[in-house]
Amino acid sequence: MLYREAGQFKTTYAADQAIFPIAQDKWVVIAFAAIAFIAVPFLVNDYWTNAVFLPLLIYGLAALGLNILVGYCGQISLGTGGFMAVGAFASYKLMTSFPELNIVFVVLLSGGITALVGVMFGLPSLRIKGFYLAVATLAAQFFLIWLFNKVGWFYNYSATGQISAPDRAIFGLTVTGPTALPWVKYLFCLGFLAFFALVAKNVVRGRIGRNWMAIRDMDIAAELIGVRPLQTKLSAFAFSSFYVGMAGSLLFAVYLGAVEVTEAFSINVSFLVLFMVIIGGLGSILGSFLGATFLVLMPIMLKNAMVDGMGLLPVFAKHVEIMLMGLLIIFFLIVEPHGLARLWQITKEKLRLWPFPY
Amino acid sequence: MNAHVQPQPVPGSGIARGDVLLQVDNVSLSFGGVKAITNISFDIRKGEIRAIIGPNGAGKTSMLNVINGFYHPQEGTITWRGEKRRKMKPYEAASQGIARTFQNVALFRGMTTLDNIMTGRGLKMKKSFFWQCLHWGPALTEEIEHRRRVEEIIDFLEIQAIRKTPVGRLPYGLQKRVELARALAMEPDLLLLDEPMAGMNLEEKEDMSRFILDVNQQFGTTIALIEHDMGVVMDLSDRVVVLDYGRKIADGPPEEVQANQDVIDAYLGVPHG
Ligand SMILES: Nc1ncnc2c1ncn2[C@@H]1O[C@H](COP(=O)(O)OP(=O)(O)OP(=O)(O)O)[C@@H](O)[C@H]1O
Ligand SMILES: [Mg+2]
């Protein structure tokens, strides 16, 4: 009976509406945050930062953004890769045009620019739904990648078409470029993720979040109780793209340092982030992280087990990874659309009853 | 039209009890070749329970859809609070004080009872996106203030126990009640109820009837009610309008309508189901 709400009576609506109404949840999150912010920075080295933590944090942010759109507002998008590219190229242009601009603002502004682009491509969502919207966002993906590949202005007419991030520092600590230390990069991305996860959680439990979910669950009824469909959908596109844009910015500036648009932001990235959302749990903030963690760690663990452990060929491990991913997607879509987050919730409900399961 | 002497509507919001709140004039609506509504006129007065009855396919639901701006009639006008209404979107009708429930439950299935009802408060919540991001200060105060109103409705409809249950898991009767709660949360001037008791057992029907009467009497909410159960209609309504094949065939107090030969022929006398 470790996990119980017994004895925790809410005497005010404020307490009942607190972010983690159950005390144990609150302490777990606080402990987790303390470890992530205080302990991990001392432990990370180059390998852990680059192979595990940065992708996890950055894809976590992207998955969170996509989950707002797909999981909360019910609008499908296959353009995540393209929108991340917008964030990356916005950062590049901002960094090269305004060298004085602080890197924090670069990331935020890149998110803002991506939000505008997201709204533009979200406009058709008033008229088209489901499959057709998916195709429209897919078109956005291809259009954006084509644009960044073709128009030299975006990559400052560099011969290779690549963009690379100049050095930028915050509080005297270099965050971007080859000299940046692993723990600085880690903390920088973690700061963004933690702050904006909190913002997302706040928004989804207020009026705007409820309007998104109302549109998702029954758009006609939502309209009849006063939810404006276009405004609500576009706000979801904007909010979601803001997050995805920041993720693209961090992926380029902090994690990869240099990118080639067709490689780093291809349609595969769109699918990867969508799979994170599906496996993690549609309509769950926690699920976005669980999904990102799972899909970042799975290939590493498979490779460790199969290539290093059993001496199999890396190609084979890659194939197993792809098959496993496919199976998991099918499993979660059919059996548990609310993903890992829901499985976690069920476990908690069981724990609450334990040891008397009736 | 009907034989009643109607008091002149007062423009603007100062409409007294018994004055015309909504007036429908010569409305016709068709879908391609199908005429759903043909030249219907009637009014709804402030404070009354107005029943709309008629056999299946008579055009009752279509009439409600016209009233709350979901369908746009090809002909005729609607006067709301003494002002002729232009063609409007459903969310505009909602913001002018028209709420409704649906024949087939139309709840937000992925959300809890509480969140469903809180969504009904959306039009009354004004705090900006910035404060929403913080969920603190003015936004939190607003959220709690509206939560308090919602809890009053929850108490009123006796659904405290299912507050945190996702509505998809609730039995049908309770879903109908949550839907009523969500509409009430809008504090509407006119509440449109499309068969609120369909598919309920006797006890549930009695509860629902009591709730509808209480809403009407305690909050003074004007109600337009579609219902097939004639007992309920006779008990609840002040005036009844009868539709058949998209036309109005009778309009008046329940006893008068019940005695009307056209109505008996069209509807009451004919067993259906
Ligand atoms: N969206 C639509 N498209 C085409 N025809 C429609 C539409 N909505 C309603 N109709 C038609 O209009 C007529 C009236 O339908 P309506 O739903 O208003 O009847 P009703 O009186 O509510 O019936 P019931 O008691 O079965 O609910 C029916 O013939 C129906 O087929
Ligand atoms: Mg109907």
Closest residue by Cα to atom 14, ligand 1, is: B59
Cβ pair A207:B135 closer than 8 A: no
Phi, psi of A223 (to 5 degrees): -65, -35
CATH assignment, B19-97+190-273: 3.40.50.300
pLDDT beyond 70 at A356: no
Rounded to the nearest angstrom, the gap between the alpha carbon of residue A188 and the centroid of all alpha carbons in its chain is: 16
pLDDT category of residue A174 using cuts at 50, 70 and 90: confident
List CB contacts (< 8 A) between B94 and chain A.
223-226
- Whole-number pLDDT of residue B196: 92
Q: In angstroms, how far is CA B180 from the centroid of its own chain?
A: 9
Instruction: Please report the pLDDT score of residue B135 as a whole number.
Output: 78
Q: Give the number of whichever ligand sits closest to the CA of residue B247.
A: 1
B243-265: pLDDT as tens digits: 999 999 989 999 988 888 888 88
Give the ligand at the shortest distance from the Cα of B40.
1
Q: How confident is the model at residue A147 (pLDDT cuts 50, 70, 90)?
A: very high
Contact of B186 with chain A, judged by CB distance below 8 Å, is answered with yes
Residue A69 has pLDDT above 80, yes or no: yes
The rounded mean pLDDT for chain B is 87
d(CA A243, CA A246): 5
The per-residue pLDDT for A358 is 52
Using a CB-CB distance cutoff of 8 angstroms, which residues of chain B are in contact with residue A217?
107-111
Ligand 1 pocket test: pick from B60, B225, B248 the residue with the most ligand atoms within 8 Å of its Cβ.
Answer: B60
Flag whether residue A223 sits within 8 Å of chain B, measured between CB atoms: yes
Give A259 Cα–ligand 1 centroid separation in angstroms. 58
- For residues B12 and A290, the model is more confident at A290
pLDDT exceeding 90 applies to what percent of chain A?
A: 49
Of the CATH numbers 3.40.250.10, 3.40.50.2020, 3.40.50.300, 3.40.50.10860, which one belongs to the domain with range B105-187?
A: 3.40.50.300
Window from A16-25, A261-270, B141-150 with minimum mean pLDDT: A16-25
Q: Are B193 and B21 in contact (CB under 8 A)?
A: no
Nearest protein Cα to ligand 1, atom 7: B31
Q: Which residues sit with their C-beta closer than 6 Å to ligand 1?
A: B 31, 34, 36, 54, 56-62, 103
Please say if the pLDDT value at position A160 is more than 50: yes
Whether residue A227 and residue B91 make contact (CB cut-off 8 A), yes or no, is yes
With H, G, I as helix, E, B as strand and everything else as coil, classify residue B70: coil
Query: Given an 8 Å threshold on Cβ–Cβ distance, is B134 in contact with A206?
Result: no
Evaluate if residue A208 carries a pLDDT over 60.
yes
Query: Where in the sequence of chain B do the CATH 3.40.50.300 domains occur?
Result: 19-97+190-273, 105-187
Q: Does B177 touch chain A (CB under 8 A)?
A: no
pLDDT confidence bin for B12, thresholds 50/70/90: very low
pLDDT of residue B273: 38
Q: Note the ipTM here.
A: 0.87
Q: What distance in Å separates the CA atoms of residue B143 and residue B119, rounded to the nearest whole number? A: 11
Closest CA to B45 of B85, B98, B6: B6
Predicted local distance difference test score (pLDDT) of residue A88: 96
Q: Which residues are within 8 A (CB) of A122 and not within 5 positions of it... i.e. 6 or more apart? A: A75, A233, A234, A236, A237, A238, A241
- The answer on pLDDT for B206 being more than 70 is yes
Tally Cβ neighbours within 10 Å of residue A1.
Answer: 10
Q: Does residue B94 sit at the A interface (CB-CB below 8 Å)? A: yes
CA-to-CA dists, residue A26 to A3, A5, A348, angstroms: 12, 12, 14
CB–CB contact A225 B134 (8 Å): no
Least confident of A162-171, B31-40, B42-51, B156-165: A162-171
Instruction: Answer yes or no: do B110 and A222 touch at CB < 8 A.
Output: no
Query: Distance (Å, rounded) from C-alpha B135 to C-alpha B125?
Result: 13
